[in-house]
Structure 1
Amino acid sequence: MTRIVVASKQKMSLLQDTQAGSVVLEQPSIIQIGIAKENISSMVRSGNSLQITLKNGEKIVLENFFTENGSPHSLAFPDKSGKFLVAEFDEAGKLIKYNPVDHLSQLGSSINSTGLTETQQTAVVTDGVDDGGIAWSSVLKTGLAVLGAEAVYLVAFDKDDDKDKDNTNVDLTPPAAPVAALDTDGKVMSGTAEVGSTVYVKDLQGNILGQAVADSTGKYEIKLDKAVTDGAKVIVTAKDQAGNESKQTVVTGTKDTVSPDKAQAQASDSGSIVTGKAEVGAKIYVYGPDGKTVIGGPVTVASDGKFSVTVTPALKAGEKGTVVVEDGAGNRSEAAEVEVGKDTLPPDQPKVTVSDKGDLIKGIVEAGAKVKVMDAAGKVIGEATADNQGNFTVTLNPPLTDKAKGTVVVEDAAGNQSKSMEVIAGKDNIAPDAPVAVLNDEGTIVTGKAEPGSKIEVRSSADGTLLGYAEVKDDGTYTLTLSKALTDNTLAKVYASDKSGNQSSATEIKGTKDTIPPGKVEEVKAYDDTGSTKLNIGNDGKTKDSTPVFEGKGEAGATVYIYQDGKPVASVKVDENGKWTYTTDELAPGSYSYTFRQVDKSGLNGQESDPFKFTVESTVKTAALESHDSAVSSDQTADTVNDQSLAKLLNAPVPVMDSFSIAEDQSPLNSETLQIQQLFKDTASGSDAGTIDLSTVLPENAMAASQGQSAPTQTEPVTVSIRIDLNELLNQNIPLI
């Protein structure tokens, strides 16, 4: 990805240092893109955005680059000469030409909307202090060093007093950002950095809290001047011996040292239950009248901030108990007092709006409560009582002016007071309603409705990254383009913030476009289902079922394409439970290899499965005869053989036969053939063995093997096989016995 550095024209402070595909511009800026102009395929205006397409296919979008009067921004590209080329556009957004400048500092706030003036193109800036009070050199180089965090940034400038010197051997490569971690108390920072570099730890105001030099192994340890705790952030950077400074590493102090707020608690009339509100996840303890004995708890505050505690023994009428909140770090709150038969719950803070002149405050609070407004010195400058709907209006005398701050306190009929709340003229603390938000099918554009004049922000649900923003029009509608498309069920949250900074609750949107191909078809199995129970046919297995059944798993709604020996033969749908089945066509005996590929509802192809191989065996169908005059047994199954004719054949006089079988050949001779096996008994058993004259049964032209075979005298059975034309055989008139 291409590096993009954005600096403020007015303050020359770094605003962004990113490789994102989309950059949102919120003030007149200098944008430096780390590629030569020869690598640009096109630059096109789209609405108020500039879309840059590189020759390698990469796309960069600069949001809000254009206004109705052109562009307040300067877009610069590095030149081989060490200077910069600034793109100049007309009011329609068409590229006119590139203007060369020696230093990016020449692109300060005096630049016009269409490019550089001739004076600015030839200006020479000397070291010193500009009109804005900023001491700088004349060069603002590529790769501005970010030295701050959370919107606190500085810009590193290099002096160019020696610009004519040979800098061939000068180290211009900054060290990598240091690895940094705080100890559990937030007092010691340790980690690794470039060997010999100096590691600095600074707060967000730029104050150095500690520094150390990385040793020969790159390790360092810094004892900080003050502990970093309770979510405070510090910035860690490394500076090498050549003066190059790394990118920042931001570290957050996680130790919790702040006591939770006092509980809002109330005892029931029976004194056996205490309910209230407190910090989510904290533990609640209830103490008896002596303030030492635990008579309730600990219980954990629910996710909605509420709790209930059973008290044993119950508080009696007139008795007081205390409630203490303990957070996960062991910090304990002030004790909140509860008393049987008395209201001890403080009212909530009011929802208020302060007039622009600072002379009126309107709002909503607990019905019948008193509202007091104090100035910065604590003097009451207005008060009122809420009506039975909770509405109130307070006239302030003197009014709050010039952004002067006041404090509002609510007191209910029982004398309980709310937490104090700060108010400022022209501001309110009423959050707008959650915005209506609709994401397009591609996951790139959000449209909707919200409070007119409010600001819409779309942030990743996963990490809070800002994906896009827009201002709501006077008609309450908005449209914004996301810096990164939401796809594959990725979630984002949409917020509306009014001019007073109040933020609405979130509206969640989901990217439904599918960009991930399905995986291989899984858990493929084959079954022989000819019997009453299914028999598993393993991979490389054998079966006598000529129409086996396949089962498997896939992506719900996908289509599974089935290949037999590399050729497509069928397709089936995956059901809502992710399962599919397929029964093959009639398969002749032989070996087969099946593979499967699924294509999802978006048309994305998955990989072909590993082959599933098996062999279909020949099926032999038999009819047994225990003696020459018995009937055909029940397991006789000759598909196209006439049962009566077959019975005639089997009952023909064959006196020396004990049994024989008739089998349907899988490779018919003429039409259908039979194989007759004559099984001779062992002569040692005393049974007759002699000559069989099959010609007495079969016509001469039906014989396909020797006639008059004699049964030898031996202990093993002997098989005589004769292939006959079944159609001709069954046309003979063979008498029944």
Structure 2
Amino acid sequence: MDNIVVADKQSEVATQSAWGNINLKAPSVVQVPVSPDKVATVTQRGQDLIVTLKSGEKVTIGNFFAVDQAGVGSDMVFVGEDGTLWHAQYDAAAFTGFTFEEVASLDELVAGIGTAGSAMPTWAIAGLSLLGVGGAAAAADNGGGGSSGGSDPDTSAPATPIDLLVSPDGLRLTGRGEAGTTVNIRDAAGNLIGSGTVGADGNFNVTLNAPQINSENLDVTLTDAAGNVSAPGTVTAPDATAPLAPTDLAINEQGTTLTGRAEPGSTVSVRGAGGVLLGTAVASADGQFSITLQPPQSDGQALEVSAADAAGNSSPVASITAPDVDTPDTTAPEQPTDLALADGVTFTGRG
């Protein structure tokens, strides 16, 4: 795929970017090296324009729908294989898609464009024309024609990476971004845990240094060849980590209440013989829980206690034995019988 050409309406500088996601810093004219008949859909997401080709390739033009204080917005020109220029017209107030107008000459193109949603000055058209189909000539090339040499530095950061996803095993992170940029992935502490490169199709697949399987929040940035860094995209890793087994288990003397500690927010369950559920509770923010046992367990029963998190991961089982409380004896002995006092010293009887 040839390069995308961006002509900044404010600075009057045209630059090239490899096929992939780009981020506009100001209202611009964007020249895309494909013909309209190869476009499947164009959609708006916030200020961004998403162009999906029939081939399945996708490119995001960041800030395409942003306008400056004067109400000037961005424009897009598609280039056919034969070099035909197609101006993509749209309603800036209520975007529903593009209608394409073929422009047979530069004069016609300049004359037909005038306001936000279709504003493209003469210098921009001329710049795009000089680049040729697909931007074959370097946008910063000022050689010939008596123009000054040198080129403006690239100070435009890549667009924020999108479609971020961590694999179920927590070992890979995929997404989309500007082709050729370097992908850096950092954990919540700012540690670099993976890096890679966005492919020519705008996709990337990065192997992580360690599995991320406990709902970790990750930041993903893109860095281009000039060192410009995108705003971070964020993604949450899957939760595939089971809680630890509950600890500090205790049952009161009456066998009615079981207390302990478990992962905050986890649901703690107590089961008796045959797996019968005796009670549940949710561990508080400090990890403590208290469960009312139904029925009370006061005969030395063996109980099993486990915790399950919101993702359904269950902890190992912790065991505890209920107290063995004997029933108090409230029956008085029978009255003694056959009582006798012999020789005034020995007392005998039965009882």
TM-score, normalised with respect to structure 2: 0.45
TM-score, normalised with respect to structure 1: 0.23
